[in-house]
């Protein structure tokens, strides 16, 4: 285990040290102490390493992550894991807004709650939230899965494309062109896999699936009020 004290080493050197780890590095376990809410910690990683951040983080922690596993032992600021491509991010506390925005792949797990616009414009990432999520989540979501073990706020999945959403609790309201969908066997299997990967004990049969009604895919003046 390599330990970096962020307040002593500084952000730039910390990230450059992590960026310097190649695919075949034998220094696979890293620990960052004293993050103190700093922004852009461990962003742009691209190696199969495990980074544990001992505390809360600011904006864009683990942004654009590739391959790495980043564990935040605190709460995470806005845009955590934005545009994640692969790998895994685990947030032990709560996550602020825009979690996993535009993420293309990989998995983000939140043990607490996630704020508004969780998974906005998601493009393939899987997000599993043990608690609740805020309003306008998965706005314009293109692909990937958003799993919510608690409740979802207003306008879930507004203007979504092919992303799908599994909610165990209540949904305050659905966004434009988002509708309740049938939960078939393949969805139960998919959901069980995501819950297992996230390490969360929940029964897929208690969830409801939501996705695009596909009525806004091609512009139609009769739908103008929905835009």
Partner 1 sequence: MNKHDSKGIPHTTPRQSATFTQDINSDIRRAAATGIYDIRGGGAKRKVPSFDDLLFMGASISRYPLEGYREKCETNVTIGGLNASNPIELDIPITIAGMSFGALSGPAKEALGRGASAAGTSTTTGDGGMTPEERGHSNKLVYQYLPSRYGMNPDDLRKADAIEIVVGQGAKPGGGGMLLGQKISDRVAEMRNLPKGIDQRSACRHPDWTGPDDLEIKILELREITGWKVPIYVKVAGARPYYDTTLAIKAGADAVVLDGMQGGTAATQDVFIEHVGQPTLAIVRPAVQALQDLGMHRKVQLILSGGIRSGADVAKAMALGADAVAIGTAALIALGDNDPKWEKEYNELGTTAGAYDDWHEGQDPAGITTQDPELMKRFDPIEGGRRLSNYLKVMTLEAQTIARACGKNHLHNLEPEDLVALTMEAAAMAKVPLAGTDWYPGKPNTSY
Q: Pick from 28, 71, 143, 208 the residue near partner 1 by CB under 8 A.
A: 143
Q: For partner 1, what does the binding mask look like between residues 26 and 65, x meaning CB under 8 A?
A: -------------xx--xx-x-----------xxx--xx-
Q: Which is nearer to partner 1, 48 or 169 (CB)?
A: 48
**Residue 67 touches partner 1, criterion: CB under 8 A:** no
d(CA 216, CA 226): 8
Could you tell me the smallest distance in angstroms from the CB atom of residue 23 to partner 1?
14
Q: Residue 185: count other Cβ atoms within 10 Å of its Cβ.
A: 7
- Pairing assessment for the beta strands 143-148 and 50-54 based on DSSP bridges: unpaired
**Residue 165 touches partner 1, criterion: CB under 8 A:** no
Whether residue 127 contacts residue 148, with contact meaning beta carbons closer than 8 Å, is answered with no
Order of strands, sheet of 123-129, starting from the edge strand that comes earlier in the sequence: 2-5, 29-33, 50-54, 69-72, 88-91, 107-110, 123-129, 143-148, 164-167, 208-212, 178-181
**Residue 226 touches partner 1, criterion: CB under 8 A:** no
Please provide residue 52's backbone torsions phi and psi, each rounded to the nearest 5 degrees: -110, 125
- Pairing assessment for the beta strands 29-33 and 50-54 based on DSSP bridges: parallel
Q: Pick from 47, 52, 104, 107 the residue near partner 1 by CB under 8 A.
A: 104
| β partners of residue 210 | 165, 180
Could you tell me the smallest distance in angstroms from the CB atom of residue 202 to partner 1?
28
* Interaction site with partner 1 (CB under 8 A): 11-12, 15-16, 19, 39-40, 43-44, 46, 58-60, 63-64, 66, 78-79, 82-83, 85, 98, 101-102, 104, 117, 120-121, 123-124, 139-140, 142-143, 159, 161-162, 217-219, 221
């Amino acid at each position: 285990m390599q330990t970096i004290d962020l307040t002593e080493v500084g952000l730039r050197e910390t990230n450059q040290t992590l960026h310097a780890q190649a695919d075949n590095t034998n220094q696979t376990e890293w620990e960052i102490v004293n993050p103190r809410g700093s922004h852009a910690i461990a962003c742009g990683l691209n190696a199969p390493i495990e980074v544990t951040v001992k505390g809360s983080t600011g904006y864009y922690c683990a942004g654009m992550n590739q391959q790495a596993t980043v564990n935040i032992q605190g709460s995470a600021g806005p845009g955590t894991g934005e545009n994640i491509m692969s790998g895994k991010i685990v947030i032990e506390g709560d996550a602020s807004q825009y979690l996993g925005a535009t993420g293309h792949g990989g998995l983000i797990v939140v043990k607490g709650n996630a704020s508004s616009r969780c998974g906005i414009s998601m493009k393939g990432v899987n997000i599993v939230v043990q608690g609740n999520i805020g309003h306008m989540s998965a706005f314009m979501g293109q692909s990937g899965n958003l799993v919510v073990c608690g409740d979802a706020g207003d306008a879930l999945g507004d203007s979504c494309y092919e992303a799908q959403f599994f909610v165990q609790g209540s949904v305050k309201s659905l966004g434009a062109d988002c509708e309740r969908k049938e939960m078939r066997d393949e969805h139960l299997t998919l959901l069980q896999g995501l819950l297992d990967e996230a390490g969360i004990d929940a029964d897929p049969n208690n969830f409801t699936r939501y996705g695009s009604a596909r009525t806004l895919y091609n512009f139609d003046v009769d739908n103008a009020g929905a835009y």
